[in-house]
């Protein structure tokens, strides 16, 4: 398959209105210590009343009381969220102490269950530079890759639906055959750039900066077409003679647009998108005729998981639908970023081409990891050539946890095709029990390790994913006391040599020239030595 490359710029997962490009990163950089998130600003707050506590006509009195105590007389109720909370618009964007004062005043009323800022989420991709990677290394059957050729022998995602809750989507020959009718949940016409609010057209109109909405944004002037890229990572068509392959190439893609101008979207819109994608009702919106079997969220906002988003995730999980989310690109513990810290999600850190935790990736409080790339070896996927309006389809390279999450969502689609009886807990167990350590190192924590779709598929069917064979198996039988039990399946390069298998105490490496050798650790340069041997 052939592909055309173009340089793209992506963004850091950051706080509400603070879009923070991270610049170039190196694979060996040490993750920064946990840091406090920058204060976020918003012109909306979410208020949930206890069931039956306040008649509808009395809500205004609660709002007026809070406004009087804070000096803000611009509170206007706009609409109800998917879980019955209400969104209030303030007279102006508030942040820090002013925002906390308002939500506290609302929360003090005994009828109020919670009052939270309606923060703006941003897409979770880091800035990138031109990449010289020639192929999709993240799909290879090597220590840093996913081993997809063997996985596709077992499942391709047929009959599954991956909801991509993101910036929307643009037409692309590597996606069109898999795209299902989606929905646009960007609630403001200006932010949506389509002249209206929620509607049935999830086309990405561009997330580039706006001189009114974000005049000081550090974003470059070109749109990222982030949703098109993540959709391709998850489910780009394969065996069609062009472009790239996704992890689940036969799965359907359900585009759900929740992020617009300035690469921002209100959390209430994100929550509505997740709810609708799961098949649950959303007031004023037609029912989703193609409920997702897995939902991907490659976006985020700093801070605790907002209640309205948690409610949407909880509803999806209760319906048996896993919600896979990007861990974030702030190089801090993922506990500091939503939706990675929402209960019930599958949160995904990113690894680089050496199989190490990527320098930008959040870590620690994550479920597992997947290839997200690094500035010198990125993730190639579907894209668009337009600068500030949709243009011709193309292929672009990015690196970030935004790329890692849809890889795991694709793996879930494979599992759901092969083992439809598995619930959310069973799917999570299949992924985590067969994940393998990051061969390049992940001292801050990558959860269960790097996802291995092949092993997960074998495990889900009651097989033994970590069996040994051939030269590696022969050496293991001789020195098993030194190696310990196998902790991964055997992985072989595209040419069939070298092959690698992880054990409790190290690795056995086999190559056609030297046979099997035992090594206590597996530095990246060993792969080339083994190949040459």
Q: Active-site residues: which are they? A: 166, 226, 402
For Cα atoms 101, 268, 366, give the angle at the middle one, nearest 5 degrees: 95
Distances (CA, A) of 154 to 150, 417, 453, 457: 7, 10, 10, 7
Alpha helices in 302-400 (DSSP H): 307-318
* Closest alpha carbon to 17 in 222, 330, 304, 301: 301
Distance, in Å, from the CA atom of 376 to the CA atom of 370, rounded to the nearest integer, reads: 17
* Torsion of Cα atoms, 518 then 522 then 526 then 530, to 10°: 40
- The values of phi and psi at residue 380, to 5°, are -80, 135
In sequence order, the β-bridge partners of residue 89 are: 44, 76
Residues near 216 by Cβ (< 8 Å), separated by ≥ 6? none
What is the distance between the terminal CA atoms of the chain, rounded to a whole angstrom?
Answer: 29
**Residue 105: helix, strand or coil by DSSP?**
helix
DSSP string, 489-519: --EE-TTS-SEEEEETTEEEEEETTTEEEEE
CA distance 402 to 252: 19
- 158 burial (CB, 10 Å; 0-12 / 13-18 / 19+) is middle
Query: Exposed, middle or buried, 525 (CB in 10 Å: 0-12/13-18/19+)?
Result: exposed
């Amino acid at each position: 398959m052939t592909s055309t490359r173009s340089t793209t710029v992506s963004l850091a997962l950051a706080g509400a209105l603070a879009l923070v490009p991270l610049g170039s990163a190196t694979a060996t950089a040490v993750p920064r210590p946990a840091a406090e998130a920058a204060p976020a600003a918003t012109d909306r707050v979410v208020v949930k009343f206890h069931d039956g506590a306040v008649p509808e006509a009395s809500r205004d009195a609660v709002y007026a009381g809070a406004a009087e105590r804070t000096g803000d007389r611009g509170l206007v109720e706009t609409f109800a969220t998917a879980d019955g909370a209400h969104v209030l618009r303030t007279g102006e964007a508030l942040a820090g102490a002013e925002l906390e004062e308002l939500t506290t005043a609302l929360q003090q009323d005994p009828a109020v269950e919670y009052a939270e800022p309606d923060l703006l989420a941003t897409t979770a991709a880091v800035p990138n530079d031109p990449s010289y990677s020639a192929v999709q290394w993240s799909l290879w059957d090597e220590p840093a890759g996913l081993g997809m050729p063997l996985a596709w022998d077992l499942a391709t995602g047929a009959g599954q639906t991956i909801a991509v809750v993101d910036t929307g989507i643009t037409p692309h020959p590597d996606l069109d055959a898999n795209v299902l009718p989606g929905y646009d949940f960007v609630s403001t016409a200006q932010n949506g750039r389509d002249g209206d609010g929620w509607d049935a057209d999830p086309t990405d109109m561009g997330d580039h900066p706006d001189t009114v909405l974000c005049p000081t944004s550090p974003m470059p002037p070109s749109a990222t077409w982030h949703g098109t890229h993540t959709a391709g990572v998850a489910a780009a068509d394969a065996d069609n003679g062009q472009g790239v392959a996704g992890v689940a190439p036969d799965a359907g893609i359900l585009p759900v647009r929740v992020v617009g101008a300035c690469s921002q979207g209100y959390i209430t819109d994100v929550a509505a998108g997740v709810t609708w994608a799961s098949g649950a009702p959303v007031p004023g919106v037609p029912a989703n005729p193609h409920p997702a079997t897995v939902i991907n969220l490659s976006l985020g906002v700093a801070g605790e998981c907002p209640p309205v988003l948690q409610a949407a995730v909880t509803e999806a999980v209760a319906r048996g639908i896993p919600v896979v989310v990007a861990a974030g690109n702030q190089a801090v513990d993922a506990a500091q970023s939503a939706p990675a810290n929402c209960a019930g999600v599958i949160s995904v850190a990113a690894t680089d081409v050496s199989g190490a935790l990527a320098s930008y990736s959040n870590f620690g409080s994550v479920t597992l990891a997947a290839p997200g790339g690094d500035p010198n070896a990125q993730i190639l996927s579907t894209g668009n050539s337009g600068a500030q309006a949709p243009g011709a389809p193309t292929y672009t390279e990015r690196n970030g946890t935004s790329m890692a999450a849809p890889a795991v969502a694709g793996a879930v689609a494979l599992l759901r095709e092969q083992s439809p009886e598995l619930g959310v807990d069973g799917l999570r167990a299949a992924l985590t029990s067969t994940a393998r350590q990051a061969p390049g190192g992940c001292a801050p924590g990558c959860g269960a390790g790097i996802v291995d779709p092949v092993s997960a598929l074998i495990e889900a069917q009651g097989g033994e994913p970590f069996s040994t064979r051939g030269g590696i198996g022969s050496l293991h039988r001789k020195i098993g006391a030194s190696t310990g039990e196998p902790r991964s399946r055997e992985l072989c390069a595209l040419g069939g040599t070298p092959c690698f298998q992880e054990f409790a105490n190290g690795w056995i490496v086999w190559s056609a020239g030297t046979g099997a050798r035992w090594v206590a650790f597996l530095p990246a340069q060993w792969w080339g030595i083994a190949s040459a041997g």
